[in-house]
Structure 1
Amino acid sequence: MHNLLSNLKIDINHNIYLKDPESSNLGLRIVEHSILLIDEIGFDNFTFKKLGARIGSNESSIYRYFDNKHKLLVYLTSWYWAWLEYQLVFATNNMDNPKEKLVKAINVLTRTIEADSTFAHIDEVTLNRVVINEYSKSYLTKVVDKENKEGYFAIYKRLVIRLQDMMVEVNSDYKFPHSLASTVIEGALHQHFLRNHFKSLTDCNEHTEPSDYFNHLVFNALTK
C-alpha cells in the first residue's frame, strides 16, 4: 500500500486556501508545524504569529496561504479525512464478503492511528490527536452552512457515505445507515477522547479498542 500511496496527492477543496501549501517548501512547513503547534498549545491559543515564530517566517507569509486559522484547521482536518479515506479504500478494495469488508472498514476508521511515512511533512499520529481534540471547532461555527455549500466538508461527507454504502450491503433494509455511519466516524473521535481524558466514561481502555465497541454496535444494529 505504501508504494501505491506514495504516488498520490491529497486533494483539498481550493476554496479553503489562498495558495496550495503543497506547492512550496514554505507551505509544507506551515502544514507540518501548524499540526505540531496546535497539538502542543491547542487551537484556541494557536496564532499565525506563533506559527511564524516557530518556522522562522513572517506572519504575513502565512496569510498568503490561508485567510485565517479557521481555514487552516479545515484544511488540516480535510487532509486527515482524505488520508483516512485512502486507507479505507486500499484496505477493503479486494474484499467481496460484505460483513468482512464492513468489519475491516470499521477497524480502519476507529483504530488507534499509527505513523505513516508516505507523507514526510505530515505526522499522522499527531494530526490524529489534533482531529480528536479540535475537529468540532472546524464546523461548530456560524458560517457552517455557507462553507458546507462551498464544499469545505465534502471529503468527510464522502467518507461517511462510503461507510454507509458498506452497511447497506450487509442489510439493505436497515432504516438508519447514514446516521449509523456518521455515528461511527464521529463517535470514534469521542471514544478516543474519553479514553485519554475521561476514562470512567468509556469501556475503551488498554484492553478494549474503540473498534471493538463499534463493531459490536454496528452489527447488533444491522442484524436485528
Structure 2
Amino acid sequence: MHNILSSLRVDINSDLYLKDPESSPLGLKIVKSSIDLIDLHGIEEFNFKKLAKAIGSTESSIYRYFENKHRLLLYLSSLYWGIMEFQMVVQTNNMNPGMEKLLKAVETLFSTPETTYSSFEVDGGKLRHILNSEFVKAYHHKLVDVQNEAGYFSIYKRLALRLSEMIVGVNPKYAYSNSLASLIIEGSLNQYFLSEHFHNLTDCHSKDNLYLFHKDLLTKTLKH
C-alpha cells in the first residue's frame, strides 16, 4: 500500500504555475528551497531574488515556473492540503462512518504532513509551519472570488467536504456540518499559531491538547 501511495502525486491546479515544478530537478529545488526560505523569513520578506541565490540560479529561471510569489504560496498550500487529504484517506479508509472515523480524520489533520505522499523531498514540519502562519494570506484578498472560481482552492474545499460528510455520518440531523468542518480545518492551523504567538488565547499547546479539545467539541456538539 505504501509503495502505491508514494507513487501518487497531488493534482495541483495547473493555472498556479507556468511550468510544472515536478517536471525537472530545478523545479523540485525551487519548491524545496522556497519552503525553507518562507519558513525562515515569512512570505513578506521572501522574494525570488533570495530564492535564486539559495538555489544557485537566476530569477528569470524561477519566473519560468511561477508568475509571482503569491502563486507559489497558493501552490504550496495546495501541496499541503493534498498531502493531508492523502493521509486522511489512508487513515480512515477501512473505517465505518461514525465518531471513531471522524476523530481519526481530525487526529490525522493535526499531524505533520508525510511528504512521502508527493514527489517533493521537503520538510513536512516546515510546510506545516508555513501554512500555520501564511495560509490566511493566500485567500484573504480582493481577488479571492476570481481565484476560487478558477479552482485554486479546490483541494482545500474537497478536504473540507470529506470532513463534512464524516460529520453527517455521526449525526445526520446536525444542521451545520460544513461550518463545523471548516472550523476544525481552520483550527488545525490557527490554534498552533495562537500557541506560538498568543499563548494565553489558547489551551492547545501541543498536538495532544489540540486533539482532546476537538474531541470534546465534537462529541458534545454531535451528541444525538
What corresponds to 2:211 in structure 1?
211
TM-score (norm 2): 0.95
Q: CA RMSD in A?
A: 1.5
What secondary structure does 2:195 align onto? Answer: helix
Q: Deviations over 1:168-194 (max 9, x none)?
A: 011010010000000000011111111
More moved, 70-79 vs 187-196:
187-196
Matched ranges for 1:1-224 at <5 A: 2-111=2-111, 113=112, 116-117=115-116, 119=118, 120-206=120-206, 208-223=208-223
TM-score (norm 1): 0.95
Measure the CA separation in 2 of the matches of 1:10 and 1:219. 32
**CA 1:187 to 1:219, structure 2 compared with 1: closer, same or farther past 3 Å?**
same
**CA 1:207 to 1:142, structure 2 compared with 1: closer, same or farther past 3 Å?**
closer
Contact 1:29 1:121 in 2 (8 A): no
**Structure 2: which amino acid aligns with 1:159?**
L
**CA 1:54 to 1:151, structure 2 compared with 1: closer, same or farther past 3 Å?**
same
Give how far 1:199 is off: 1.6
Give how far 1:67 is off: 0.6
Q: Deviations over 1:34-78 (max 9, x none)?
A: 000000111000001110011011001100011100000000000
Identity %: 49
**CA 1:186 to 1:168, structure 2 compared with 1: closer, same or farther past 3 Å?**
same
**Structure 1: which amino acid aligns with 2:105?**
A
**Structure 2: which amino acid aligns with 1:143?**
L
Post-superposition, which runs of at least 4 consecutive aligned residues in structure 1 deviate over 6 A?
none
How many residue pairs get aligned? The number is: 223
What secondary structure does 1:26 align onto? Answer: helix
**CA 1:50 to 1:207, structure 2 compared with 1: closer, same or farther past 3 Å?**
closer
**Structure 2: which amino acid aligns with 1:172?**
P
Measure the CA separation in 1 of the matches of 2:207 and 2:105. 20
Contact 2:80 2:113 in 1 (8 A): no
